[in-house]
Chains A and B, each alone.
Chain A
Amino acid sequence: MLFQDIIERLEKFWKKEGCVLAQAYDIEMGAGTFHPLTFFRSLGKEPWRVGFVQPSRRPTDGRYADNPLRMQRYYQYQVIIKPSPDDIQQVYLRSLKALGIRPKSHDIRFVEDDWESPTLGASGLGWEVWLDSLEITQFTYFQQMGGFELNPISCEITYGLERIAMFSQGTDDAFKLQWNDNTTYADICKRDEQESCQYNFKAQDTTITAQLFDIYEKESRRLIGMELLLPAYEYMLKTSHAFNLLDASGVISVTERASHIGRVRSLAKACAKLYIESREQ
């Protein structure tokens, strides 16, 4: 199945399950969990169902397009279902069938994974879903977001699109994937990947990135003070990405690392608090 068909099938599948088909967020983020439609919507009481593709940036995971499984930018398909239905595992397995993955021809396993995002003050319990020993999905029952205990509980399903496509197309390298019939994943992403790795690991002016971190943080703080929720949150996202870049460049010491994460988390928590308070009014 073509890369773009996989996305299309997932959209179709989750549309039928009543999801809003949303779009990716236009700011760099490490995972779909940072998308406001995940972060904020998991906090409230109302039911919520959404699905979207989110390009996800993890600068430290870059391998100059040399490793078939690790990239600094890859695509997630993210689904949030609140409250989590009783048969959510079966629904998920049906979605694999929709992708042409027949459970009786593969070794599919739900392997414990206690998920935590220290930058978002979020945690949850669930699994990595293994398809013939490859993690293709993160399946999480959120327990906490922005430092707040959640009730009702949202279920987050995050598909690793490249990995699923690799299975589907029988290739052992993400860059060999057919995006459509005449364009490969490499055509679209390879040069970007290599150049981004260059930038993340070597070409970065880390003094500037460090300054940006401080500036973004300051701006987010200021906006939190003005109770401008989304702009404040967006600057938190930028702060978080600046931190990820610094982390990849290797200039950040272990102590600083913890303190930077703490600074981002405190912004995320403040945003969550603002959201909850504004809902109460």
Chain B
Amino acid sequence: METRDLILEIGTEEIPSGYFAHILDLLSFKEGSIKEIFEAEHIRIEGAASYSTPRRIILMLKDIPISQDMVIDGPPTRVAYDKAKAPTKALEAFIKKNDASIDDIEVFQDKKEQRVRLTKKGVSNKEALERILPKVIRSLDFPKTMRWNEEDFVFARPLRWILALFGDEILRFSLAGIESSNITYGHRFLGHDKIKVKDADSYFRVLEKNHVMWDNEQRKDKILTFLQKKRWQENMQLLEEVNNLVEYPYFLEGTFKKDYLTLPEEVLLASMSKHQRIFCLKDKQDALTNRFGAVLNGRYRGMRGIRRNYENVLDARLKDAFFFYESDTKKSLADWAEGLGEMVFHKELGTVKEKVERLKEIAAFFLKETGIKGVDKKALSRAISLSKADLLTQMVREFPSLQGVVGGYYALVSGEGNEVATAIGEHYLPRFSGDHLPKTEAAIICSLADKFDNIVCYFKIGKFPKGSWDLYALRRQSIGIISILLNKQIHLSLEKAFDYVCGITPASCDKGKIKVVYLNFFKERFIAFIKEKYDYRYDLLDSVIASGVDDPYDCSLKLGDLDSMIDEPCFEKARCIVERTYNITRSSKLKAEEPKAALFKDAKERSLYGRYKEIRDEFMGLCAGKEYRRATELYGDSLAEEVHSFFADVMVNVSDKDLKKNRTALLSAINRLYRDNIADLSKIVVTRE
């Protein structure tokens, strides 16, 4: 079968750097449904590769058949033939429409009835591809789109050319007022414009010659290698961004006045990355130096002038940062905090000052609940009072990402103690997945209090995260909470936290309803968190989750213990007990009812009950001590034999209703003992040999 490669290049004006990752995933079929657009036209794709530069989005498909046999379904046999089995007008029309002959027709049975169909040999795929590609382009979605002409078409930025080659043939279609062609454009300043490309094979060579490094990964490697060699202050996010701002990376090193190294490190770095997208370089001792590295879009004449210009701009920017620092610190952080009464947290949720007052109470509650020791309560309360003051400073207004960090620095300048400054500086942590966690106890409490307050408050006014929409970053904050609780080994009941925080926050709501949403939300986030960090069996996770996620750290302990013993005999014993007792009691409507000893008839049931009572308190004690491995061993080893011999000799489904009820209650109690306290092991999937 003869095949060809397909190249689609969507030429645009510069697309925002953050938009590409998603688009490349769509085009390489990692997400979305572009593959189905091809399949709907019966074109099977072996492999799709996608690339991008700021000015182009590229899709390459390997080995697409030039032509293929196409099966076309026709009318049912009862319509296609008359009583004499001669072809009807309908059949003739079908044949004519498809440019075939009566010999091509065959009869087949579909789900309902007999029909005819024909197979056209060697139908060119060109037309199908010409129908497909505009749909592919239309299916690309962006966070923000725009119009630029009178066409009814939106895209991230104006579309300027479309190159569509199938081997050496142009796939012709038009979109947004543009006719597809075999014309591409090189690097905006270093390459040629309007370059005719002979065929798909030569396309990438043409780009290379015209200073376009089209492979995102290769481009990134080149940048990264250079930056590592120059001892960069690592900033992967900025690297991603810079990589999508250039078609042909070239490096420039420059310096700034050493005086600026006295600025808080975060301020220095934020200023460099925000305004000029440049990296700070370090010395051999890993300390920041007054050197920077910039990634230019190509190698130009007059690099010395470019360097001087970069340095001048940086100087002005850092001067500005100094201006903010000096004018902000003329007032103490406590003075800044005075203004919080005027600052609205949210119009339905009061001012930030009110929030801060509330955080003090929430912190005191968490301190009590979690049993965290060694916190200087005065420092904690002071830290909370000042924690939001930096929101009013010029520095944070200029660099919103530095909230907290700036507060921490200004606290020290204002003469607050280290404990206070650290708690302020760390209370937004972790800000993203993989970020540092707050280190000190006071910072941990501040961080938890702030996050719970945000989540509960926004839930109360109905601002739940939906789909990809999470304006208040509540998902990220809930993951932050879980991450802190697990890493710092803190026990906290999510439900109790909700009840308390809900009780002292403004805005009224249907508390019961919101609590259900809140608990489900945390459950989902917990599952997502665990799946990302650990490789537990999904059924083990299910079974632990089934027993509730009220205390995330506790859940993680159960998971750890059970995972470590999942292949051991005592786990299997426990699992069998839970499963068998579950199977027989699941249809009964018994509510947590204890069996009555007086009603037992059989020695087996009496002895099982006796054993159950014997271990129950010890089991509960182990659970209370979070010793889930030992609890499971106790449960499995002590009960397995008795349970099985009970099942062998004692009938549960007897006609004596009281007796039946009592026996069910016994088994249910045994089931619940494990299920309510550790995990519902009936959810464990067993492969039987």
Contact = CB atoms under 8 A, between A and B. Distances in A.
Interface of A: 63, 66-70, 83-84, 86, 89, 103-112, 114, 124-125, 127, 131-134, 141, 143, 151-153, 166-167, 172, 253-256, 258
A104 B189 contact: yes
Contact of A125 (B157, B252, B277): B157
B276 A133 contact: yes
A172 B245 CA distance: 26
* Residue among A69, A112, A167 facing the most chain B CB atoms (10 A cut-off): A112
A153 B296 contact: no
Given A107-B296, A133-B276, A172 B147 contact: no
A89 B13 contact: yes
A151 B147 contact: yes
A145 to B, nearest CB: 14
Given A131-B309, A141-B147, 6 more contacts: A107-B296, A107-B297, A108-B297, A133-B277, A133-B278, A258-B344
Interface string B276-315: 1110000000000000001011101110011001101111
A167 B306 CA distance: 10
B342 interface: yes
B16 interface: yes
A161 B51 CA distance: 37
B301 A105 contact: yes
B13 A143 contact: no
A134 B313 contact: yes
B323 interface: yes
Contact of B300 (A68, A106, A151, A152): A106
Interface string B302-341: 1001100110111111011001000000000000000100
Q: Secondary structure of the A side of the interface? A: mixed
5 closest Cβ contacts across the A-B interface?
A253-B342, A132-B309, A112-B16, A110-B14, A105-B302
B342 A106 contact: no
5 contacts: A108-B189, A133-B313, A153-B149, A253-B343, A258-B344
A109 B300 CA distance: 13
B519 to A, nearest CB: 34
Contacts of A106: 300, 302, 305-306, 309
Contacts of A66: 323
B150 interface: yes
Contacts of B160: 86
A34 B97 CA distance: 62
Contacts of B190: 104
B146 A253 contact: no
A141 B17 CA distance: 18
A134 B309 contact: yes
Contacts of A107: 252, 296-298, 300, 306
Interface in B223-247: 245
A69 B318 CA distance: 11
A114 B313 contact: no
Nearest to B352: A254
Contacts of B252: 107
A89 B294 CA distance: 24
Contacts of A83: 149-150
Contacts of B14: 109-112, 127
Nearest to A90: B193
Contacts of B150: 83, 151-152
Nearest to A112: B16
